Amino acid sequence: MGLNFYSKRIPKWVGISLTLLVQIIGINTINRQIKAETKLTAASEKDLFLYRQMGASYLCIASRAEVDFNKGLGVASATFANVIIGKHGGVIKELGNEKLGEKRLYNAGTFQIVGSALNICPENIPNKIKKDYEKKLKQLVKGNKK
C-alpha cells in the first residue's frame, strides 16, 4: 500500500534530532577548550615590570602630546589595573593568592607608573607629582625598615 504520512516524518525528526545533538556536543567541546585555555596565573615581577613600563611610556608620550597629565596618568593606571585583573585575575605572585581589587591595583599602578616615568621622562612630570611621589616613597621606605 505505500508509505503513510507518519512514516515519512519519522526520518525527518530523527535527522533533526541527530543534527541538534551533534551541535550541542560540539558547542560543549568548544566551551571546555575555551575554559581550559583561560587558566589565569598570578602576575610575576617580570609581568609587573612590563605593565609598569608600558604605562610610563604611555604617560610620557601623552604628556609630550599636551594631553592633561592627570588624564594620561588615569588612563595608564586604569590600563595597568585592568590588565592585571583580566590576565591574572587580580593576583600578584609576590603577594600570594590574595585577589586585589581594581581600586588597589589602580593606586599601586599610579605610584609605580609615576616612578618609572620619572626615570624615562622626568621633564614631563609636574613638580607637585614629583614631590608627592618622593614623599610617599620615603614613607614606604621608612615603613619597611620597621
CB 136 within 8 A of CB 111: yes
In terms of domains, do 95 and 124 share one?
A: yes
Q: What is the predicted pLDDT for the residue at 32?
A: 55
CA distances from 26 to 9, 22, 67, 80, 122 (A): 26, 6, 49, 36, 55
In terms of domains, do 27 and 95 share one?
A: no
In terms of domains, do 10 and 75 share one?
A: no
| DSSP letter, residue 43 | B
In terms of domains, do 114 and 134 share one?
A: yes
Give the tens place of pLDDT for each residue, 106-144. 999 999 999 999 999 999 999 999 999 999 999 988 877
Q: What is the predicted pLDDT for the residue at 96?
A: 84
In terms of domains, do 52 and 107 share one?
A: yes
Which of 133, 143, 141 lies closest to 59, judged by CA? 133
The stretch 1-26 carries a mean pLDDT of 61
Residue 107 corresponds to which cell in the numbers above? 593606586
Q: What is the predicted pLDDT for the residue at 14?
A: 59
CB 102 within 8 A of CB 81: yes
Confidence of residue 29 (pLDDT cuts 50, 70, 90): low
Q: Say how far apart CA 56 and CA 118 lie, in whole Å.
A: 8
Q: What is the predicted pLDDT for the residue at 31?
A: 53
In terms of domains, do 69 and 132 share one?
A: yes
In terms of domains, do 30 and 69 share one?
A: no
CB 110 within 8 A of CB 71: no
Give the tens place of pLDDT for each residue, 63-116. 999 899 999 999 999 999 999 999 999 999 988 878 999 999 999 999 999 999
Is it the case that residue 36 has pLDDT exceeding 50? no
Question: Structural domain of residue 118, as residue ranges?
Answer: 45-145
